[in-house]
Structure 1
Amino acid sequence: MRRWGMLALGTAAQTVACVFVYGLPYLSDELRSGSGLTLGQVGLLVACPTAGLVLALVAWGALADRIGERVVIVAGLASAAALLAAGSTVDGLVPLGAVLTLAGAAGASVHAASGRLVVGWFSAEERGLAMGIRQTATPLGMGIAALVVPALAARGGVTGSLLFSAALCAVVAVLVGTLAADPPRPERAAAGEPSGNPYRQAALWRVHASSALLCVPQFTAGAFGMVFLVEVRGWSAVNAGQLLAVAQVLGAASRIVAGRWSDRVGSRMRPMRTLSLCIAAVMGLTALGAVWPSAPTDAAVVLACGITASTNGLAFTATAELAGRAWAGRAMGVQNTGQNLAASLTPPLLGALIGATGYAWGFALAGLLAAAASAVVPAGPGRTRQPSRVKARSGTPVGQATTAEQRA
């Protein structure tokens, strides 16, 4: 049961880190009306935590590889809590932006180390499910932010919202510091575990590339699904938001199901390739729905928002397994960096395309990139090694990917 406790702590840490990184958009109205900022200035502030996150991911991952996961998570969350508390007292665009950027960089520790903590405590036969559960932290953090941040902003302004995020980070930092334990670190590499620099093989690069490509349909559906339902299908903003809340639940469930599927078939790559093709098909249906709007179009949008999130956990699990314990933190940092860059670039670039040509072309391009991702995913036809259940409960080394997946 200990490994499930570690999973709960890792998921909680990831969730609270996502609350403040992805909760800032819900402060937009308060920042404009209460702080007198323009829409462009608000956009800059919203981007600050993500910018800090991207810049610090690999460094935090390397530190986790060297000194362990628990210390890195605690240090990052405690620093983020202190910075957010300090941010509640500052005024002005530049000082607040600087604090938010540093807080995002501190929170990057969780993105780099919590996944490493989870995969280290689970064997290959349970690792996909565990990482699928851990990946639900993103929609969960966004959901908490959506429910709490606007209400706090209405009562206490930006100060109340930042203090709320600071309190969450501080509480979870104490819990992780008190209850979490690093996975066992064998003195020698286990049989079958990758050794040396994993980036000398093509497989890890292909996982990063395919995952970045799959971020395009995910953030196309997420960024433009609501406005599409309002503008094209005539939904009210409130009802469209409620419908897409269902899509968030579907997205969280799809990550868990995909992870369990990969455990059952003994491969991360085969489900990832199949799901990439499914994503391409669903985005194609959504594009057709934009050309001929009808009731099934609404279902296609919900399905797109859900299924496009399904491959995230698979990609992170494959990254850790292909990298091996000595490189898992750095590799997850690179994986996170690529995904965040793709996520940041998708809304403005696809928004420009949709503005010039219409929703159908934007959705179609996202589908084509998902199809391309299926070709980039490493082959990996064999099964992962299956450690015994006893080893799974005591923690097993990361790096149980198939030889084919390592060399693909």
Structure 2
Amino acid sequence: MTTAPARTRRPLPWLMLVVSVFAQAAGTVVVATPAFLIPLLHVQQHLPLEQAGLLATAPNLGLVATLIAWGGAADRWGERNVLAIGLALAAVAAFAATLTQGLVPLGALLVLAGAGTASVNAASGRVVVGWFPPERRGLAMGIRQSCQPLGVAAAALAVPALVAGGDIAPALIFGGVLVAVSAVLCLIVIIDPPRPGRADAPAHHTVNPYRRDGLLWRIHAVSVLLVAPQYALSTFGLVWLEVDQGWSPLAAGILVAVAQFLGALGRIAVGWLSDRVGSRLRPLRWVALAGIVALLLTAAAGGLHLAVAVAITYVLASCIAVADNGLAFTSVAEIAGPFWSGRALGAQNTGQFLGAALVGPGVGALIGVVGYPIAFALVAIAPAVATPLIPKDAAVARLRDTLEATRS
């Protein structure tokens, strides 16, 4: 029997969490950048909004295609290598995109960049679940999930300024540098969490979670529905404020960035709340209900062109729209257990990004037919449908008790 090195015996979970947050935020910048190219492509270069929206979803297509594979790789070979390899791939694709011409080659490289960033979604989630105990896991995962709105906020502030000269290359280089740096940090700092033996694991962790019950399927479905408001507001918020509401690019970019930054704090807050109430699913239901109201208020404020109300309701709706992600992500990891969490988290994000890939062209076409206010109001249907699908805590507890009784 060999003795583990001191670094492995005494890991630094909070340092690994910081690196995971930076890695996910860097990947989000790469994924979000095309959405903030829409004003340049649509307004200045006269690209149809549907095509611009499709280009904005290109990185999400790469995510959808590879998330489960990355999750399976993390389950089998560990998180550290998966993170470093995926982020390096994203950096190469982002840099290569600066050298290409034409929408099709650009879109293909953005798909590849998105595929590389997909490694972070499953692998860094496993790092958090593996190193943090349940009573601190909600807060830790909330911090980890805050990286997505932080990445969108960074892109909202940086991309419009970087493309002000009419060239998209500086924005792509910005994202490429971030993921390249994060790949190196993950290789240096991340330590794969310990994996329990199957003989010592609870029964509900060793059984295939997709065959034993429908809980994970329901959470996946809820998350797909709740991703619609998030991506509708982040993808079309900037162009809505500039084109429909008459805001300047600077003012619109600042508001979108503020909304995403506050959304990051909101994810941390609901993660902390879930630790306090001892449930991920109850706060998830509260978030879904609040999202319905916030979207309808945003639509009304936009329809009336009330600038102050638009600012307040857009920030509120954006904060609520991103708050569910960490709760659902943590629930999936806890229900799936250590032997299935990589694949389950990959499946979770696959559904989310598949939904997000449809939001770009779908909502873009809807806006073209009915306008921004009605389109945002119709998006509220998604959280309304999601709310009754959220499992109750009692169902999770009953499942766990039943499986443990069967094992004993």
TM category (shorter chain) comes to 0.7 to 0.9
Q: Does 1:136 align with 2:146?
A: yes
What corresponds to 1:180 in structure 2? 190
Report 1:349-360 matches (<5 A): 349-360=362-373
Pick which of 251-260 and 347-356 moved more. 347-356
What corresponds to 1:85 in structure 2? 95
Change (3 A) 1:42 1:187: same
How high is the TM-score relative to the length of structure 2? 0.84
Aligned partners of 1:172 and 1:236: how far apart in 2?
Answer: 33
Aligned partners of 2:295 and 2:61: how far apart in 1?
Answer: 29
Q: Deviations over 1:301-358 (max 9, x none)?
A: 2211111111111011111111111111111111111111222222433344444445
Q: Does 1:343 align with 2:353?
A: no
1:194 aligned counterpart, secondary structure:
helix
Q: Which amino acid aligns with 2:353?
A: N
Change (3 A) 1:164 1:277: closer
Aligned partners of 1:161 and 1:69: how far apart in 2?
Answer: 28
2:231 aligned counterpart, secondary structure:
helix
Aligned partners of 1:161 and 1:8: how far apart in 2?
Answer: 24
Q: Is the 8 A contact 2:41 2:52 kept in 1?
A: yes
Q: Is the 8 A contact 1:381 1:405 kept in 2?
A: no
Q: Deviations over 1:21-64 (max 9, x none)?
A: 21134456777999x89557665544332221211111111111
What corresponds to 1:207 in structure 2? 219
Aligned partners of 1:186 and 1:219: how far apart in 2?
Answer: 37
Pick which of 180-189 and 164-173 moved more. 164-173
Q: Is the 8 A contact 1:250 1:307 kept in 2?
A: no
Q: Does 1:378 align with 2:391?
A: yes
Pick which of 90-99 and 333-342 moved more. 90-99
Q: Deviations over 1:132-177 (max 9, x none)?
A: 1111111222233333344444579444444443332222211111
What corresponds to 2:379 in structure 1? 366
Is there any run of 5+ residues in structure 2 with no aligned partner, and where? 1-10, 403-408
1:309 aligned counterpart, secondary structure:
helix
Aligned partners of 2:301 and 2:157: how far apart in 1?
Answer: 30
Change (3 A) 1:232 1:107: closer
Q: Does 1:311 align with 2:324?
A: yes
Change (3 A) 1:164 1:287: closer
Report 1:52-201 matches (<5 A): 52-153=62-163, 157-188=167-198, 189-191=200-202, 193-200=204-211, 201=213
Aligned partners of 2:46 and 2:310: how far apart in 1?
Answer: 37
2:205 aligned counterpart, secondary structure:
coil
What corresponds to 1:388 in structure 2? none
What corresponds to 2:343 in structure 1? 330
Aligned partners of 2:379 and 2:52: how far apart in 1?
Answer: 27
Is there any run of 5+ residues in structure 1 with no aligned partner, and where? 383-400
Aligned partners of 1:234 and 1:38: how far apart in 2?
Answer: 20
Q: Is the 8 A contact 1:380 1:404 kept in 2?
A: no
Q: Is the 8 A contact 1:64 1:113 kept in 2?
A: yes
What corresponds to 2:406 in structure 1? none
Q: Is the 8 A contact 1:74 1:177 kept in 2?
A: yes
> C-alpha root-mean-square deviation of aligned residues, in Å?
3.1
2:322 aligned counterpart, secondary structure:
coil
1:247 to 259, 282, 285: 259
Q: Which amino acid aligns with 1:365?
A: L
Q: Is the 8 A contact 2:61 2:354 kept in 1?
A: no
Aligned partners of 1:29 and 1:351: how far apart in 2?
Answer: 13
What corresponds to 1:283 in structure 2? 295
Aligned partners of 1:354 and 1:138: how far apart in 2?
Answer: 25
Change (3 A) 1:253 1:124: same
1:48 to 52, 58, 69: 58
Q: Does 1:24 align with 2:34?
A: yes
Change (3 A) 1:181 1:302: same
What corresponds to 2:6 in structure 1? none
Q: Is the 8 A contact 1:229 1:298 kept in 2?
A: no
Q: Is the 8 A contact 1:17 1:169 kept in 2?
A: yes
Q: Which amino acid aligns with 1:198?
A: P
Q: Is the 8 A contact 1:378 1:405 kept in 2?
A: no
Change (3 A) 1:329 1:229: same
How far residue 243 of structure 1 moved from its aligned partner, in angstroms, is 2.7
Pick which of 217-226 and 252-261 moved more. 217-226
Change (3 A) 1:230 1:162: closer
How high is the TM-score relative to the length of structure 1? 0.84
Change (3 A) 1:32 1:259: closer
Q: Which amino acid aligns with 1:21?
A: V
- When the two structures are aligned, how many residues end up with a matched partner? 388
Change (3 A) 1:222 1:406: farther
Q: Deviations over 1:212-241 (max 9, x none)?
A: 111122233334445555566554443333
Q: Which amino acid aligns with 2:378?
A: L
